[in-house]
């Protein structure tokens, strides 16, 4: 079976499941994305290990999982607990490196510390914006925009975010195959083209506007247009950053977890950049 056929089959199966989990909300949504974050973080750590950085994977994965779950809880003491687990992760990583210094042969401590803590910031912390977005509650100037809806505001916004990222990837993939001539960044991702990126951006913006019109009828489309433009700039950057890391590690995919798509890191690389940008944009709009 070709890679394209596997992509299509997994899309047909995976997209409805993903939307169903979004609509279900917590705790299912939170736990699902906590697992995704840990799988992606593990794949990142394996790539970094291949380059000799020796991250403390167990510390990073436990910290990342706890971070994602606490972001879903958002209780009275959540902020203090989030600060505590990051501090403990840093403390544990640095303490282990100090202990390792007694060994005659060990990986450079700076690489271990930076790769461990950097991986936490890169994957679970950035991806946790999806969990924050799912818990979105309309307030202030945003309140009138979320009336007469058939689902929770946060669920609708997450689905629109997913639409933007998925459509961008899909349109860029097929647009690049059909019309791609000008390499985008050949030293990082030789198959990506400028034409594909432009078609992907147009498709992403269009799908986000249609999704907004259908799911949040009262939401001003001009506001979502601005948000979608930001997303179409940063989502491909997330893809390219992951491609840069994989190319440096001399691998094509971060793993073979998802047939036709590679690993969790491959599948959610764009989301790591898109989610914070979209979440931040909506936060700024709500402060107007």
Domain count, the chain: 2
Report whether pLDDT(19) > 90: yes
Taking residues 246-254, what's their average pLDDT? 90
Distance CA 253, CA 256 (A): 7
149 and 248 in a single domain? The answer is yes
User: How does residue 109 score in pLDDT terms, banded at 50, 70 and 90?
Assistant: confident
pLDDT at residue 190 greater than cutoff 90: no
Does residue 157 register a pLDDT over 90?
yes
Domain that holds residue 269: 1-24+135-288
More confident residue, 22 or 259: 22
Please, which pLDDT band fits residue 76 given cuts at 50, 70 and 90? low
- As a whole number, mean pLDDT of residues 151-171 equals 95
Report the pLDDT value the prediction gives residue 180, as an integer from 0 to 100: 86
List Cβ neighbours of 64 (8 Å cut-off, separation of 6 or more). Answer: 34, 37, 38, 41, 119, 120, 123, 124, 125
| Domain endpoint, select from 132, 153, 180 | 132
pLDDT at 132: 92
- Write down which residue in 68, 98, 132 finishes a domain: 132
Same domain, 110 and 128: yes
% of residues, the chain, pLDDT over 70:
94
- Choice among 238-242, 243-247, 257-261 with the minimum mean pLDDT: 257-261
């Amino acid at each position: 079976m070709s890679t394209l056929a596997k992509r299509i089959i997994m899309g047909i199966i995976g997209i409805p499941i993903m939307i169903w989990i979004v609509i279900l909300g917590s705790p299912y949504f939170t736990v699902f994305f906590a697992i995704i974050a840990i799988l992606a973080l593990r794949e990142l750590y394996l790539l970094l290990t291949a380059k000799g950085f020796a991250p403390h994977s167990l510390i990073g994965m436990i910290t990342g999982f706890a971070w994602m779950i606490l972001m879903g809880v958002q209780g009275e003491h959540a902020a203090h607990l989030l600060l505590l687990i990051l501090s403990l992760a840093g403390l544990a990583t640095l303490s282990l490196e100090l202990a390792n210094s007694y060994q005659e042969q060990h990986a450079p401590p700076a690489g271990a510390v930076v790769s461990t803590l950097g991986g936490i910031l890169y994957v679970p912390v950035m991806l946790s914006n999806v969990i924050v977005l799912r818990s979105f509650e309309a307030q202030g100037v945003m309140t009138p925009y979320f009336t007469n809806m058939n689902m929770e505001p946060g669920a609708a916004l997450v689905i629109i975010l997913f639409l933007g990222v998925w459509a961008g990837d899909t349109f860029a993939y097929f647009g690049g195959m059909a019309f791609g001539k000008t390499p985008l960044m050949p030293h990082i991702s030789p198959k990506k083209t400028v034409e594909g990126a432009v078609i992907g951006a147009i498709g992403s913006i269009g799908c986000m506007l249609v999704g907004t019109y259908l799911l949040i009828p009262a939401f001003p489309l001009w506001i979502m247009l601005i948000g979608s433009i930001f997303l179409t700039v940063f989502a491909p950057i997330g893809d390219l950053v992951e491609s840069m890391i994989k190319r440096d590690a001399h691998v094509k995919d971060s793993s073979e977890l998802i047939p036709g798509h590679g690993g969790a890191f491959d599948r959610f690389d764009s989301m790591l950049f898109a989610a914070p940008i979209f979440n931040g944009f909506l936060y700024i709009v709500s402060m107007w």
